[in-house]
Structure 1
Amino acid sequence: MKKLLTLLSLVFLLISCGKEKQKNENVLYLYGWADYIPTKIYEDFEKETGIKVVEDIYSSNEEMFAKIKAGGTGYDILTPSTDYAEILMNDGMLEKLDKSKLPSLKNIDPMVLEKLQYFDKNNEYAFPFAMGATAIAVNTKYVKNFPRDFTIYDNSEYKGKMTLLDDMREVMTSALGTLGYPQTTTDEANIAEAANLVKGWKKNIAKFDSESFGKGFASEDFWVVQCYPDNVLNELTEEQLKTTEFIIPEKGGTAYIDSFVIPKSAPNKEAAYKFLDFIQRPENYKLVADHLRIPSINVPARELMATKPIYSVQDLEKTVILKDIKNTLDIQNKYWQQILID
């Protein structure tokens, strides 16, 4: 009963917090990822518009979705990854964008817009913010003449010196892609084949790891890690960067597009439109791309960037975006659990 009361209290708090946010029309409430948008963007936006951005942070798409579903209204902008933008749209929770209020939409690379069109046919709900890839980091001091795809995990020469992410969606999607199957396949034989491929990789890895791979790579405990590049870059010295290469596999490579979406319940939609248009102006978006060290999805901003991305926009073209696989999620999870215990 105590747990039930705690849960009910949490739901009431979420709803109450949402209602409280509606009181100030000069405040924009954004719910997003930590350290994702440079502080200067918020400061410059407030100087120009008089609207202060208040940022709440979530650590996973699942956390964000649970809060919104529980009644956490009052947010003007959310920043979901593609699969959760799809879920929110299909659940009827998103505002259809008025593109006349978003002139900076023209600055976004058509390739990025096209990758969202599998669920958002006319780009009417998800306004792209950033695109990046899940990569394989390789320490070239120890690993020589390696393949630029997931077959690197077949090499027993590096046994115990490699890791894969502890993430079913990432690993299974990459295995399916390596075999030439789509992540949305409903053929259980394809999924079983992909699971067997991962079992072969598992023989050569030290562990599945989604938390410490950056530190492990920097300390040279691991020489090959499937990774989110920022988590590795933040741990490396300038000297180590010289012997680090990031692979974006053409087969089995995965990428993400995080987009801004406006909930139907947003209390300050006009402010949300102003912020979305503001951040995709080239002079503003270059701050984002430099901060994240990823390719700029804003074409004019590429000429303004002060840093060189660790991979190119072209590297992202053949990657697949993780999609909502609700029809086969249970089947993939069944095989993933077998992988973990074998």
Structure 2
Amino acid sequence: MTGISKLALLAAAVMIAQQAVAAEVHVLNWKGYGADEPWAVAAFEKATGNKVVNDFFNSEQEMLTKLRTNPGLYDVVMINAAFNDQATTEGLIQPIDVSGIANYKDLGPEKAQSPLLNHDGKIYGVPWVWGLTSIAVNDKAFDKTPTSIQVMWDEAHKGRVVLRDDALEAIQFGAIATGQDINDIKDMEVVKAKLASLMPQIRTFWGAENDWNQMVAANQIDVGTYWSGSAGRAKKNFKLPVTFVVPEEGAVGWLDAFSIPAGSKNVDGALAFIDYMIDPAFYVEWDNKVGAPVSANVKAVAELPADAFNRAVMGDPEVASRIRFQAPVSDADRERYLQIWQELKVNVQ
């Protein structure tokens, strides 16, 4: 074999190896959150020829850290829209050419055009799903489903109340309980005092969806903060006695979107993955099989049964009027919230 032939074979091998790498779509997401469903991954891989490689985070701060410390590793990242501005400012994500996403046209305009995802005329996030952080109850503990957030403070449930161990979520929850705007808290001392009065009620602080579900399954808790999509999965997928409540005082709304990290090695694969994730066919199957938040794709929601929670309840204008969507939070406020939260937790045994 000549030297030229050897070089040609080597070049071909390198090219094949590069193509194999390019065929991988590295996704950074919450574990157990739709995008890593085995049946969904298998269907996407079969349809596109791309292989999905999942990695996970347990908080938005961990997600940002992974993007900072692994430049070029990820092709797709799921980001709460309230953190999109920070990721954009730090150069962690890149503008998206949505002409390569066929289902983008069916996204609700108020979500697609959100200023949280669009900066300087460029799109940095494709809306995926939205939902609420509110309260969910163990049906076994109530003859009648409560309608007020104040049930958390009811002495009848002392030691059987849970909160997620998240400073921002806790402070915003306290703001709602004191009649304040989660994005413009005027009296933090009132919020702090309200949360301090809740601490004697607390059984524990949860960190993962599975923690919450296991406590309900063991009948250890009566009520706690929870996510709408998670409550739906608990009821549908695990047959747990859980009811999600949108109290009269309101609830925290959040919007999750897919972005493409700076340095992505497979942008085409990333666009295909995002397109699949906002496709009505995937969403309806996800909601039917597992339980999901509300799709940002209006056609997908319209294909749900008329009495489906994500259509009948989350689509109710009266419920919508009580939702306050999260806005970006400054680093200074985030640090302040964390300090308050750490002080409050000290008093929980």
Q: State the TM-score bracket (shorter-chain normalisation).
A: 0.7 to 0.9
Q: What's 1:329 paired with? A: 334
Shift of 1:197: 0.9
- Report Cα offsets for 1:163-221 as digits up to 9, x if no partner: 2222221111011133343334475xx11110111112223333333353322222222
How many Å separate the matches in 1 of 2:336 and 2:194?
16
- Report Cα offsets for 1:28-73 as digits up to 9, x if no partner: 2222222322333333333333322222233333222212212342
Of residues 261-270 and 271-280 in structure 1, the stretch that sits farther from structure 2 once superposed is 271-280
How many Å separate the matches in 2 of 1:192 and 1:335?
10
Equivalent pairs counted in the alignment come to: 319
Q: What's 1:247 paired with? A: 245
How many Å separate the matches in 1 of 2:280 and 2:215?
36
Q: What's 1:30 paired with? A: 27
Shift of 1:263: 1.5
Taking a change above 3 Å as real, the CA distance of residues 244 and 129 of structure 1, as seen in their structure-2 partners, is: same
Query: Are 1:132 and 2:131 an aligned pair?
Result: yes
Which of 193, 196, 209 matches 2:190? 193
1:172-321 superposed matches below 5 A: 172-185=171-184, 187=186, 190-211=187-208, 212-228=211-227, 241=240, 244-249=242-247, 251-290=249-288, 291-305=290-304, 308-309=308-309, 312-314=314-316, 315=319, 318-321=323-326
How many Å separate the matches in 2 of 1:239 and 1:91?
40
Equivalent position amino acid for 1:204 in 2: Q
How many Å separate the matches in 1 of 2:252 and 2:115?
17
Taking a change above 3 Å as real, the CA distance of residues 154 and 46 of structure 1, as seen in their structure-2 partners, is: closer
Gaps of 5+ in 2: 1-16
Equivalent position amino acid for 2:326 in 1: I
SS of structure 1 residue aligned to 2:201: coil
Q: What's 2:10 paired with? A: none
8 Å CA contact 1:102–1:277 kept in 2: the answer is yes
Equivalent position amino acid for 1:277 in 2: D
Equivalent position amino acid for 1:283 in 2: A
8 Å CA contact 2:160–2:223 kept in 1: the answer is yes
How many Å separate the matches in 2 of 1:62 and 1:22?
32
How many Å separate the matches in 1 of 2:19 and 2:179?
49
SS of structure 2 residue aligned to 1:227: strand
Taking a change above 3 Å as real, the CA distance of residues 208 and 238 of structure 1, as seen in their structure-2 partners, is: closer
Please provide the CA RMSD for this pair.
3.2
8 Å CA contact 1:27–1:54 kept in 2: the answer is yes
Pair member with larger Rg: 2
Equivalent position amino acid for 2:345 in 1: L
- Report Cα offsets for 1:6-25 as digits up to 9, x if no partner: xxxxxxxxxxxxxx988622
Taking a change above 3 Å as real, the CA distance of residues 52 and 207 of structure 1, as seen in their structure-2 partners, is: closer
Shift of 1:159: 1.9
How many Å separate the matches in 2 of 1:186 and 1:135?
18
Q: What's 1:117 paired with? A: 115
8 Å CA contact 2:250–2:324 kept in 1: the answer is yes
Q: What's 2:343 paired with? A: 338
8 Å CA contact 2:95–2:122 kept in 1: the answer is no
Gaps of 5+ in 1: 1-19
8 Å CA contact 1:136–1:247 kept in 2: the answer is yes
Percent sequence identity over matched residues?
20
How many Å separate the matches in 2 of 1:76 and 1:101?
15
Q: What's 1:13 paired with? A: none
Q: What's 1:11 paired with? A: none
How many Å separate the matches in 2 of 1:22 and 1:73?
16
How many Å separate the matches in 2 of 1:259 and 1:51?
21
Shift of 1:331: 2.2
- Report Cα offsets for 1:127-177 as digits up to 9, x if no partner: 112222223122344324564232112322222222222222111101113
Of residues 312-321 and 231-240 in structure 1, the stretch that sits farther from structure 2 once superposed is 231-240
8 Å CA contact 1:173–1:252 kept in 2: the answer is no
Taking a change above 3 Å as real, the CA distance of residues 205 and 183 of structure 1, as seen in their structure-2 partners, is: same
Taking a change above 3 Å as real, the CA distance of residues 126 and 23 of structure 1, as seen in their structure-2 partners, is: same
SS of structure 2 residue aligned to 1:137: strand
Taking a change above 3 Å as real, the CA distance of residues 215 and 101 of structure 1, as seen in their structure-2 partners, is: same
Of residues 170-179 and 250-259 in structure 1, the stretch that sits farther from structure 2 once superposed is 250-259
Q: What's 2:80 paired with? A: 81
Taking a change above 3 Å as real, the CA distance of residues 40 and 206 of structure 1, as seen in their structure-2 partners, is: closer
Equivalent position amino acid for 1:255 in 2: G
